[in-house]
Amino acid sequence: MPHASQSPAPALFLHDSQRRATVPFQPLDPAHIKVYYCGPTVYDLAHIGNLRAMLTADVLVRLLRTLYPRVTFVRNITDVDDKITARARANGEDIGALTQRTTQEFHKDLAALGVLPPDIEPRATHNIGEMQAMIARLIENGHAYEAQGHVLFSVGSFPSYGALSGRNPDELEAGARVEVAPYKKAAGDFVLWKPSDAEQPGWESPWGRGRPGWHIECSAMSHRYLGDSFDIHGGGSDLLFPHHENERAQSLCCFPHSQFANYWVHNAMLLVEGEKMSKSLGNFLTIRDVLAQAPAEALRLLLLGAHYRSTLNYTQAGLNEARKTLDRFYRALSSVTDIPEAPVPQTVRAALEEDLNTPKAIAELHVLANQAMGGDRDAAGALRAGGRLLGLLQDDPQLWFKGGASVEEDAAIEGLIAERLAAKKARDFARADALRDQLQAQGIVLEDTKDGTSWRRA
């Protein structure tokens, strides 16, 4: 056994979209790490592509919490957006009711997936004052202008525009085929504030009654809760341009001596038949849809089975495979009694420190599972602790093997077991054996212990 040495300095590497390289993570303040993620626009159930972004953040934050004493994770809710207004109108529903209901469903889905809640979850509509203050400042600084009730950010006023996404603003303008709104001085200029009619949600402002553009929401909320400069900003790669490029422009022009986000982390898209899973394409599966077919943990493992920067094609076969892998892990856990508490195994942590290499971390779980199957209790403890860092393997193995079927099916099995127990008590052993055989034919294995009968699927 090697001697336990002092734990080495954190060696986290992250791929930073702006540096276009995988680099060592250097916190602004190692005593307090600050992370911001763009959250959902709440008008419909979340799909499993959205989930991929939330899971990437979850693993990142879980890892940061093992490496640093304090982490503040902020993930917003976009609850004002024209897509929300349109959906509320189509449903004949109040906007507030729609966003509240959708937010609750989102929380329910994420809880089922074991995604830990953020420390702060600001809503755009509760931060309109902060947005207006930033917009006023941008106008004062000469980075924004007012035109026909709109306030626009002047892209030409910020020389570093495009540095994050690597896009050249001149190219963008030349390539723009869309009709340019008459109130824009340049095609690339984007909206900070826009006028609302009586039907649209709106707030009084120095520029008339209106509502914010999407990009200013995240600049305002990250600033309010994390300050001028923070460590990591994340989201899906579809947000890199224009959303994140615009957030960066707004924030750096508003607070010129700040850094805004020090590292940018972007997950690749979840695809269906080669195309981005998205609401607008209508090719999406909601988290709910998948949970009706398979345990949440299988979906989690499936999504973490690919590195977050590789695209992932969703298939039913992949989901079945993930389920089988979990059968194997839980079988390993159930092969020892009294799984001991253990620290996170170094192998699993090291894999995640390499730019969140979840496939490698899962391969390390397989190594531990093999050892646990051989009866190694410490390996079983390490398997469970390593699993926790990925949000996996925290169930009671017994429950895992019971689970997966519908509640009704489970209730029917419990009913047959109760009937068998009653038959045994009445000393009707023939009936009891017949019931055992019937359950066995359904693939249910019974285990009689002094505490009663437990069961699992074979």
Ligand X SMILES: Nc1ncnc2c1ncn2[C@@H]1O[C@H](COP(=O)(O)OP(=O)(O)OP(=O)(O)O)[C@@H](O)[C@H]1O
Footprint of Zn ion (CB under 5 A): 38, 218
What's the CA gap between 321 and 292, in Å, rounded? 17
Provide the minimum distance between the beta carbon of 215 and Zn ion in the complex, in angstroms, as a whole number: 7
Which lies closer to ligand X via its Cβ, residue 281 or residue 399?
A: 281
52 binds ligand X (CB under 6 A): yes
Q: State the residue for tokens 């892998």.
A: 325
Provide the minimum distance between the beta carbon of 292 and Zn ion in the complex, in angstroms, as a whole number: 30
Provide the minimum distance between the beta carbon of 90 and ligand X in the complex, in angstroms, as a whole number: 16
269 binds ligand X (CB under 6 A): yes
What residues between 326 and 355 interact with ligand X by CB under 6 A? Answer: none
What residues between 13 and 42 interact with ligand X by CB under 6 A? Answer: 38, 40-41
Which lies closer to ligand X via its Cβ, residue 286 or residue 357?
A: 286
Cβ atoms of residues 37 and 234 within 8 Å: yes
283 binds ligand X (CB under 6 A): no
Which lies closer to ligand X via its Cβ, residue 121 or residue 238?
A: 238
Select from 17-25, 44-52, 204-212, 390-398 the region that touches ligand X (CB under 6 A). 44-52
Interaction partner, residue 154 (Zn ion, ligand X, none; CB < 5-8 Å by kind): none
H, E, C per residue of the chain: CCCCCCCCCCCCEEEECCCCEEEECCCCCCCCEEEEECCCECCCCCEHHHHHHHHHHHHHHHHHHHHCCCEEEEECEECCCHHHHHHHHHHCCCHHHHHHHHHHHHHHHHHHCCCCCCCECCEHHHCHHHHHHHHHHHHHCCCEEEECCEEEECHHHCCCCCCCCCCCHHHHHHHCCCCCCCCCCCCCCEEEEEECCCCCCCECCCCCCEEECHHHHHHHHHHHHHCCEEEEEEEEHHHHHHHHHHHHHHHHHHCCCCCEEEEEEEECCEEECCEECCCCCCCCCEHHHHHCCCCHHHHHHHHHCCCCCCCEECCHHHHHHHHHHHHHHHHHHHCCCCCCCCCCCHHHHHHHHECCCHHHHHHHHHHHHHHHHCCCHHHHHHHHHHHHHCCCCCCCHHHHHHCCCCHHHHHHHHHHHHHHHHHHHCCCHHHHHHHHHHHHHCCEEEEEECCEEEEEEC
What's the CA gap between 179 and 159, in Å, rounded? 24
50 binds ligand X (CB under 6 A): yes
Select from 120-128, 142-150, 268-276, 323-331 the region that touches ligand X (CB under 6 A). 268-276
Tokens (6 digits) for 122 = 């600001």
110 binds ligand X (CB under 6 A): no
278 binds ligand X (CB under 6 A): yes
User: Known binder of ligand: residue 243?
Assistant: yes
Provide the minimum distance between the beta carbon of 228 and Zn ion in the complex, in angstroms, as a whole number: 17
Cβ atoms of residues 49 and 247 within 8 Å: no
Which lies closer to ligand X via its Cβ, residue 54 or residue 383?
A: 54
Please, what is the Cα angle at 164 between 265 and 223, to 5 degrees? 70
53 binds ligand X (CB under 6 A): yes
Provide the minimum distance between the beta carbon of 216 and Zn ion in the complex, in angstroms, as a whole number: 10
300 binds ligand X (CB under 6 A): no
Provide the minimum distance between the beta carbon of 418 and ligand X in the complex, in angstroms, as a whole number: 45
User: Known binder of ligand: residue 218?
Assistant: yes
Q: State the residue for tokens 């004002």.
A: 80
User: Known binder of ligand: residue 450?
Assistant: no
Residue nearest to ligand X (CB): 236
User: Known binder of ligand: residue 254?
Assistant: no
What's the CA gap between 75 and 37, in Å, rounded? 5
Tokens (6 digits) for 431 = 């009936």
Which lies closer to ligand X via its Cβ, residue 205 or residue 286?
A: 286
Select from 224-232, 253-261, 275-283, 328-336 the region that touches ligand X (CB under 6 A). 275-283
Interaction partner, residue 277 (Zn ion, ligand X, none; CB < 5-8 Å by kind): ligand X
Provide the minimum distance between the beta carbon of 238 and ligand X in the complex, in angstroms, as a whole number: 5
Asked if residue 242 has a cis previous peptide bond (ω within 30° of 0), the answer is: yes
What residues between 187 and 246 interact with ligand X by CB under 6 A? Answer: 235-236, 238-239
User: Known binder of ligand: residue 247?
Assistant: yes
Interaction partner, residue 218 (Zn ion, ligand X, none; CB < 5-8 Å by kind): Zn ion
Which lies closer to Zn ion via its Cβ, residue 81 or residue 297?
A: 81
Interaction partner, residue 135 (Zn ion, ligand X, none; CB < 5-8 Å by kind): none
Which lies closer to Zn ion via its Cβ, residue 38 or residue 57?
A: 38
* # residues contacting ligand X (CB under 6 A): 19
CA dihedral 337, 339, 340, 345 (to 10 degrees): 140
49 binds ligand X (CB under 6 A): yes
Provide the minimum distance between the beta carbon of 279 and ligand X in the complex, in angstroms, as a whole number: 4
Provide the minimum distance between the beta carbon of 244 and ligand X in the complex, in angstroms, as a whole number: 10
Q: What are the residues binding ligand X (CB under 6 A)?
A: 38, 40-41, 49-50, 52-53, 235-236, 238-239, 267, 269-270, 276-280
